[in-house]
Chains A and B, each alone.
Chain A
């Protein structure tokens, strides 16, 4: 008895830390320093206890549930159910919150006396609380409340820097899109309720055989739209590249690293837990969506020169990669092949963890840069590695991890995803095989394009000479920012080095799901190597790293001590063809990716707009200034959202005709409606 009560108490302690942190910082809102310290302190300790809680659950194998019904509302009950899958997501939330909160201590300082810090602390803590509730609740009504807490608080965080009208606009778009998504989630929940008579996840699971297949398909589509909007799956992503950059950077890190994963969590929860078994086309549809999101996400990222928008588009790309794992798992399972499905879902969870770490690292480093340079435009950066060496190092680690370069963590989850897709290509019949080939192909191109994109991002930001005067005033960020970034950077390396053990650990979490009970595993760890299907593929990150380091030490040693015969190293200027080198002669972020954009112009639809302003408008001989605007035609706006908007507008204007403003007419409408419904009832 004791053993089941203690974890529950710890869980509520975690929640209460965030509540106290939020309300406390609201109470201290008059004092900026105190409010910031209070909220960060409680967020840090809440996260640490959260990590402790997860360790306790997973090591001891607890399966915690807690339910408190209310008499007033019979359908609503405060019920939590934390199995290993929930615990894994609580782990990600706590881990990233921990580093973001450490980072916040120093980062929030630049908002002092500009905005109210108390509100920031309140919404920040409530946001983390909302995410924790989302992944632990097991009742649809409680879940929807938690979902709204998460969405609304993140909305307020997006518009926190409200003096910039762009941010308010981005926040508004986010608010609309997230509620469109929520509407579809509500519909899905109501459909589930209609056929199973319950809002409780476990009751739904027990009665899922009562749901007919056609309804399941509708629920699938609603869930994809609803949770896909939150996760930023293309074409429901349009809010994401606007909203994530608008928020303060430590919040962007949480939103991009963690919040969008709650959509993935719910997809796993619904498809593989609540309404299992599912038809084959769901998995294939997810694979296609994942391919599109990953490839298009990275292509749009290449076109960006706003550093945070670039990172936001990479979140879309990585959600696509996670979907490739999830879609593979669904396909294999519905074709009754649980062994490769286990591998796919493990890969998806591994990439979820990895993306959370390196994406929050990149957002935190971007925040550290923006804090010093006061701009998000990469064209105004350049040469920052000399002014901010630590930030540069952390950004480099993040770039290498997200580009899937070994030995950092991104490589190993992509490796597992690739291996699971290869299994699909090897094992499945032609039709499914083609979709797996498409998925593997898009993953291969995504890897290459992501590498190009991060060469561009790192090169334009940190290398060469400063392109604006602001840069030379930049200083390295303060200690708390460095601790926040450095901690995650170290984590990226460590997760990479111990990827074998972590992969096995994640596989155990997946095996905890009902559908994977008694599944034999494809994956094993021998020594430090991950081995897939008896030697189909194997890799050892730790030994790779040791080998690499030994060789590089050998090379440097030979060069420095054997070959070196005291040659001089002089410092000169870059070869300049006889003219003085100006910052404008360096390659820019736009110029760097221009060739890729031109190659993909069929999809990206780049636009060029020339403008010449003349000294004399009549004679037009002497141009005063010329401007060229490079842009993109937003295909989603013009082919999906604009027609939708026009249609809704047209329906509304038709509806307007019966709105006369005359009370008598409205009474007539009510009367007609009454008659019709009576007739309807009688006819039934």
Chain B
């Protein structure tokens, strides 16, 4: 009972606690690639602390949508973070862990983020929203279908059930899993606003997507928005690592299994951060109208993956 409660609390706070670290590691690795020393990997925590202490300025054109959006966007990432397999696959969550619930709950966040971008009446925010909605609309097909491929292999649309499955990388399922992972990886980059879809480290560039929407935020609300986007990165890394590479997850709720699960998961996060950092250091951002090609490729890879399941 007590281990149960502790596991649940860990599951709930794991994503918000670890997410800034994940961003910090990626930045540090990118700095190394660029021959810079780079800030400490704990810098994102200090940034958040600084922002939480600052005064805010809110546009006089903004409505309650602008004021509420950071709370909703942040809450969405917490709810989703608690509903996906992180370090233990034995948690049995039949309430919010369905793949469609995850996809559409994340869509609530996108919806309010985009509305907040329009709300202040700035041209930057509006165009950021337009681009974000274009990307997320086209990413939806690949997103649902890559999770569906996994669901069909393991005969459940519940993400915890999928992560308990060990068939994924075996025999004739291997090819489907590999294709679905390729598709999903493209979606990860699109949804978390990384290269080649978006540049997470620029401001005021005409091509930016995510940063344009949160341009008018300051203080606590900006902190929440930044934190939420870090959470989203960790959520997608968690889905990618635990659904497609489901080893090392705690199969029961004993303390040793959970500690082992957390360690393995942290290593997986590190590997994914490294991959993203290598990718961001080696390729350029794509032109906006080239991006749909990538997203459609993600979708088609998954259609092939589904056909290959028999």
A-side residues, CB < 8 A to B, are 382-383, 385-386, 400, 403-406, 411, 414-415, 418-419, 422, 425-426, 430, 433-434, 437, 440-441, 444-445, 447-449, 451-452, 454-456, 458-460, 462-465, 529, 531, 535-540, 543-544, 547-548, 551-552, 555-556, 559, 563-565, 567-576, 581, 583, 585-587, 591-596, 598-599
List 13 interface pairs A-B (beta carbons < 8 Å), by A numbering.
A404-B104, A405-B108, A415-B100, A463-B119, A535-B94, A568-B56, A569-B57, A573-B59, A581-B121, A586-B118, A586-B121, A587-B129, A599-B138
Q: How far is the CA of A585 from the CA of B125 in the complex (A)?
A: 11
Q: Which residues from 50 to 102 on chain B have a C-beta closer than 8 Å to any C-beta of chain A?
A: 52-61, 63-65, 71-72, 74-75, 78-79, 94-96, 98, 100-101
B63 & A386 in contact (Cβ 8 Å cutoff): yes
Assess whether B131 is interfacial by the CB under 8 Å rule: yes
Q: Which residues from 105 to 134 on chain B have a C-beta closer than 8 Å to any C-beta of chain A?
A: 105, 107-108, 110-111, 114-115, 118-123, 125-127, 129-131, 133-134
Closest B residue by C-beta to A563: B52
Other-chain residue from B78, B95, B299 in contact with A539 (beta carbon distance below 8 A): B95
Assess whether B216 is interfacial by the CB under 8 Å rule: yes
B219 & A567 in contact (Cβ 8 Å cutoff): yes
What are the 3 A-B residue pairs with the smallest beta carbon separation, nearest first?
A587-B126, A448-B140, A464-B121
Closest B residue by C-beta to A600: B292
Q: A537-B98, A543-B95, A563-B52 are in contact. Are A570 and B137 (CB under 8 A)?
A: no
Other-chain residue from B95, B123, B216, B289 in contact with A599 (beta carbon distance below 8 A): B289
A441 & B141 in contact (Cβ 8 Å cutoff): yes
Count, A-B residue pairs, CB within 8 A: 249
CB distance from B302 to the nearest CB of A (A): 9
A444 & B144 in contact (Cβ 8 Å cutoff): yes
On chain A, the residues within 8 Å of B181 by CB distance are: none
Assess whether B180 is interfacial by the CB under 8 Å rule: no
Closest B residue by C-beta to A583: B121
B107 & A595 in contact (Cβ 8 Å cutoff): no
Q: How far is the CA of A403 from the CA of B141 in the complex (A)?
A: 15
Other-chain residue from A385, A536, A544 in contact with B156 (beta carbon distance below 8 A): A536
Closest A residue by C-beta to B137: A448
Closest A residue by C-beta to B96: A544
On chain B, the residues within 8 Å of A419 by CB distance are: 157
Other-chain residue from B75, B123, B141, B307 in contact with A433 (beta carbon distance below 8 A): B307
Q: How far is the CA of A464 from the CA of B125 in the complex (A)?
A: 10
Q: A441-B141, A448-B140, A465-B61 are in contact. Are A535 and B158 (CB under 8 A)?
A: yes
Other-chain residue from B56, B57, B96, B157 in contact with A536 (beta carbon distance below 8 A): B157
A574 & B61 in contact (Cβ 8 Å cutoff): yes
Assess whether B46 is interfacial by the CB under 8 Å rule: no
A595 & B131 in contact (Cβ 8 Å cutoff): yes
Q: Interface of chain B, helix or strand or loop or mixed?
A: helix
A451 & B136 in contact (Cβ 8 Å cutoff): yes
CB distance from A491 to the nearest CB of B (A): 20
B155-179 Cβ-contact flags toward A at 8 Å (1 or 0) = 1111001000000000000000000
On chain A, the residues within 8 Å of B53 by CB distance are: 565, 567
CB distance from B112 to the nearest CB of A (A): 9
Q: Interface of chain A, helix or strand or loop or mixed?
A: helix
On chain B, the residues within 8 Å of A382 by CB distance are: 121
Assess whether B263 is interfacial by the CB under 8 Å rule: no
A570 & B118 in contact (Cβ 8 Å cutoff): no
Q: A441-B141, A591-B130 are in contact. Are A463 and B96 (CB under 8 A)?
A: no
Assess whether B139 is interfacial by the CB under 8 Å rule: yes
Assess whether B306 is interfacial by the CB under 8 Å rule: yes
On chain A, the residues within 8 Å of B59 by CB distance are: 571-574
Assess whether B222 is interfacial by the CB under 8 Å rule: no
Other-chain residue from A385, A462, A571 in contact with B57 (beta carbon distance below 8 A): A571
On chain B, the residues within 8 Å of A404 by CB distance are: 104, 107
Other-chain residue from B94, B104, B114, B120 in contact with A411 (beta carbon distance below 8 A): B104
Assess whether B208 is interfacial by the CB under 8 Å rule: no
B290-310 Cβ-contact flags toward A at 8 Å (1 or 0) = 001000000100010011000
Additional pairs, 8, CB under 8 Å, beyond known A535-B158, A595-B134: A433-B307, A449-B137, A464-B61, A574-B60, A575-B215, A587-B127, A587-B130, A592-B129
On chain A, the residues within 8 Å of B299 by CB distance are: 441
B58 & A447 in contact (Cβ 8 Å cutoff): no
On chain A, the residues within 8 Å of B158 by CB distance are: 535, 537-538
B56 & A570 in contact (Cβ 8 Å cutoff): yes
On chain A, the residues within 8 Å of B72 by CB distance are: 552
Closest A residue by C-beta to B303: A437
On chain A, the residues within 8 Å of B288 by CB distance are: 595
A448 & B139 in contact (Cβ 8 Å cutoff): yes
Q: Which residues from 196 to 241 on chain B have a C-beta closer than 8 Å to any C-beta of chain A?
A: 215-216, 219-220, 224
Q: A464-B119, A464-B120 are in contact. Are A422 and B61 (CB under 8 A)?
A: no
B79 & A547 in contact (Cβ 8 Å cutoff): yes
Q: Which residues from 20 to 58 on chain B have a C-beta closer than 8 Å to any C-beta of chain A?
A: 52-58
Assess whether B273 is interfacial by the CB under 8 Å rule: no
Assess whether B151 is interfacial by the CB under 8 Å rule: yes
Q: How far is the CA of A456 from the CA of B71 in the complex (A)?
A: 21
Chain B residue total in the interface (Cβ 8 A):
76
Q: How far is the CA of A447 from the CA of B108 in the complex (A)?
A: 12
Q: How far is the CA of A171 from the CA of B111 in the complex (A)?
A: 36
A586 & B94 in contact (Cβ 8 Å cutoff): no
Closest B residue by C-beta to A447: B140
Q: Which of B64, B108, B220, B299 has the most CB of A within 10 A?
A: B108
B157 & A463 in contact (Cβ 8 Å cutoff): no
Other-chain residue from B94, B129, B137 in contact with A538 (beta carbon distance below 8 A): B94
On chain B, the residues within 8 Å of A451 by CB distance are: 107, 110-111, 133, 136-137, 140
A596 & B118 in contact (Cβ 8 Å cutoff): no
CB distance from B11 to the nearest CB of A (A): 12
Q: Which of A447, A463, A592 has the most CB of B within 10 A?
A: A463
B156 & A445 in contact (Cβ 8 Å cutoff): no
Q: How far is the CA of A406 from the CA of B76 in the complex (A)?
A: 11
Q: Which of B98, B101, B158 has the most CB of A within 10 A?
A: B98
Closest B residue by C-beta to A434: B307
B95 & A405 in contact (Cβ 8 Å cutoff): no
Assess whether B250 is interfacial by the CB under 8 Å rule: no
B120 & A574 in contact (Cβ 8 Å cutoff): yes
A567 & B56 in contact (Cβ 8 Å cutoff): yes
A463 & B71 in contact (Cβ 8 Å cutoff): no
B155 & A463 in contact (Cβ 8 Å cutoff): no
Assess whether B269 is interfacial by the CB under 8 Å rule: no
Q: How far is the CA of A568 from the CA of B239 in the complex (A)?
A: 39
A552 & B75 in contact (Cβ 8 Å cutoff): yes
On chain A, the residues within 8 Å of B96 by CB distance are: 539-540, 543-544, 547
Q: How far is the CA of A572 from the CA of B60 in the complex (A)?
A: 6
Closest B residue by C-beta to A532: B157
On chain A, the residues within 8 Å of B152 by CB distance are: 422, 425-426
Q: How far is the CA of A353 from the CA of B139 in the complex (A)?
A: 29
Assess whether B145 is interfacial by the CB under 8 Å rule: yes
On chain A, the residues within 8 Å of B107 by CB distance are: 403-405, 447-448, 451
Closest B residue by C-beta to A543: B95
B155 & A536 in contact (Cβ 8 Å cutoff): yes
Q: How far is the CA of A433 from the CA of B152 in the complex (A)?
A: 13
B130 & A405 in contact (Cβ 8 Å cutoff): no
Closest B residue by C-beta to A529: B94
B104 & A539 in contact (Cβ 8 Å cutoff): no
Closest A residue by C-beta to B149: A425
On chain B, the residues within 8 Å of A531 by CB distance are: 94
Q: How far is the CA of A559 from the CA of B220 in the complex (A)?
A: 8
B220 & A567 in contact (Cβ 8 Å cutoff): yes
B216 & A406 in contact (Cβ 8 Å cutoff): no
Q: How far is the CA of A102 from the CA of B98 in the complex (A)?
A: 39
On chain A, the residues within 8 Å of B126 by CB distance are: 459, 464, 586-587, 591-592
Assess whether B19 is interfacial by the CB under 8 Å rule: no
On chain B, the residues within 8 Å of A587 by CB distance are: 118, 123, 125-127, 129-130
